[in-house]
Amino acid sequence: MDLIFATHNRHKVSEVQAMLPAGIHVRSLSDLGCDEDIPETADTLQGNALQKAQFVHERYHCNCFADDTGLEIDALDGRPGVYSARYAGEGCSFDDNVRKVLAELENVPLEQRTARFRTVVALILDGRTYFFEGKVEGLMTLERHGVEGFGYDPIFLPEGYGQTFAEMDASEKNRISHRGRAMAKMVGFLERL
């Protein structure tokens, strides 16, 4: 089965492909020849995931899925949330976002830096839509640790672990991450079909 992942982010495509069984091949927007930036104007993760999946399905008439992920930091009233990818402004880098979060948390003690990553996946398969959610609780660290992964990985310490996501190898992170949990639900669904 071929599925289009509505993303240009090669890190996410690699992460997801590693989770899927051999019979499911993931292709990106770039593989489709789509270089457009798909709008993400909804105010929820589910809304953004659906918006992206519908865009691909309507234009390319294929089975596809999209995700949206938010980092919700309790000390920041749930920010950056749905704006996680562009928290430091349009066109910002992962590094810009990390710097902004660390600056905003500068005077917040470690024990009050509780946070969670949430991912919602919207799958459109044979014209029907399905949703899958994954979540992981943790803490925002005081400084960066590790060089693996992307995004906020160097400053997110998952609950019950002594390493940030950026200190873990990809297989370990995928096993416990928010995206990994959402994708595992989608994979289980696809296998039952």
Query: Confidence class of residue 39 from pLDDT cuts 50, 70 and 90?
Result: confident
Indicate whether 175 pLDDT > 90: no
List of long-range contacts for 185-189, beta carbons under 8 Å, 24+ apart:
185/121, 185/132, 185/133, 185/134, 186/65, 186/121, 186/123, 186/130, 186/132, 187/19, 187/20, 187/21, 187/24, 189/123, 189/130, 189/132
Q: What is the pLDDT of residue 9?
A: 83
Query: What CATH number corresponds to the domain at position 36?
Result: 3.90.950.10
Q: What is the pLDDT of residue 40?
A: 87
pTM of the predicted structure, to 2 decimals: 0.88
Please state, rounded to an integer, the average pLDDT across all residues of the chain: 93
- Range scoring the smallest mean pLDDT among 16-20, 48-52, 101-105, 186-190: 16-20
Domain that holds residue 39: 2-192
Domain count, the chain: 1
Q: What is the rounded CA–CA span in Å between residue 184 and residue 190?
A: 10
Indicate whether 170 pLDDT > 90: no
Q: What is the pLDDT of residue 150?
A: 85
Q: Which residues pair with 71 in a beta bridge?
A: 81, 117
Residues involved in catalysis:
68
Indicate whether 19 pLDDT > 80: no
pLDDT by residue (tens digit) across 115-157? 999 999 999 999 999 999 999 999 999 999 999 988 999 999 9
Parallel, antiparallel, or unpaired: how do β-strands 2-5 and 25-27 relate? parallel
pLDDT above 70 as % of the chain: 100
Indicate whether 18 pLDDT > 90: no
